[in-house]
């Protein structure tokens, strides 16, 4: 048995609320990328659920994107190390492509700052960030997020891909865990 986690203290967003917001985001993104070579890059592991839903909403609105992943790890439990490590690089060449990073949540900003620096060196046609959740008051490094699902307070959340020590990713709702 693993270490016991603090309790879940409530639901922040239900499956239905998330679904409606992801639909809206899909419409907006598809409008911005009509006739463009879009590569949606999910940041593992947390974005896998969001990317699956969002990419299909984008598709339904007329943009057939290419999908790839980058792996980055920065958290031990609920504390950022502030020194993210790339655990998996892209498997396709993104030069000349319109890259949209798809992230589950932006907290301190260190993870996406690192991803941005790496991709800046690869002559992409454009680079934008989409994040389902953002904690603006936790930011330590500035990141420019073009599409935000929901801004939230400095809470620890899990579900819809987000984990607490690898637990809870498959929960269809987003819940709050006590820290």
Stretch that binds ligand IMP, among 3-11, 13-21, 52-60, 105-113 (CB under 6 A): 105-113
Within 13 Å, how many C-alpha atoms sit on residue 139's CB side?
15
First-to-last alpha carbon distance for the chain, in angstroms, is 20
Q: What is the H or E stretch that residue 127 is in?
A: strand 126-134
Per-residue binding letters, 43-72, with ligand IMP (x by CB under 6 A): x--x--------------------------
Nearer to Mg ion, 5 or 44 (CB): 44
Q: Exactly one of 89, 104, 107, 144 is catalytic; name it.
A: 107
Strand partners for 75: 80
Residue found by looking up tokens 């960030």 in the block? 129
Contacts (CB under 5 A) with Mg ion, residues 32-71: 46
Q: What is the H or E stretch that residue 114 is in?
A: helix 110-120
Going by their DSSP bridges, the two strands 79-88 and 98-106 should be labelled as unpaired
Contacts (CB under 6 A) with ligand IMP, residues 136-175: 156-158, 162-163
Q: Is 89 a catalytic residue?
A: no
> Two tokens at 107?
């907290």
Does residue number 134 form part of the binding site for ligand IMP (CB under 6 A)? no
Active site residues: 107
Residue ranges in contact with ligand IMP by CB under 6 A = 43, 46, 74-75, 80, 84, 103-111, 156-158, 162-163
Residue ranges in contact with Mg ion by CB under 5 A = 46
């Amino acid at each position: 048995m693993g270490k016991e986690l603090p309790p879940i203290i409530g639901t922040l967003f239900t499956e239905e609320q998330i679904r409606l917001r992801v639909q809206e985001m899909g419409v907006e993104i598809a409008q911005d990328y009509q006739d463009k070579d879009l590569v949606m890059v999910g940041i593992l592991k947390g974005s896998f659920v969001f990317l699956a839903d969002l990419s299909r909403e984008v598709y339904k609105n007329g943009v057939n994107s290419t999908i790839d992943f980058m792996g980055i790890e920065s958290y031990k439990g609920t504390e950022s190390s502030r020194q993210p490590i790339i655990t998996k690089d892209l498997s396709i060449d993104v030069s000349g492509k319109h890259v949209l990073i798809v992230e589950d949540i932006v907290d301190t900003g260190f993870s996406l700052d690192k991803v941005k620096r790496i991709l800046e060196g690869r002559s992409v046609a454009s680079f934008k960030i989409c994040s389902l959740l953002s904690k603006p008051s936790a930011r330590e490094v500035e990141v420019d997020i073009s599409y935000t699902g929901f801004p939230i307070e400095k809470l620890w959340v899990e579900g819809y891909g987000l984990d607490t020590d690898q637990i809870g990713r498959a929960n269809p709702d987003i819940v709050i865990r006590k820290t």
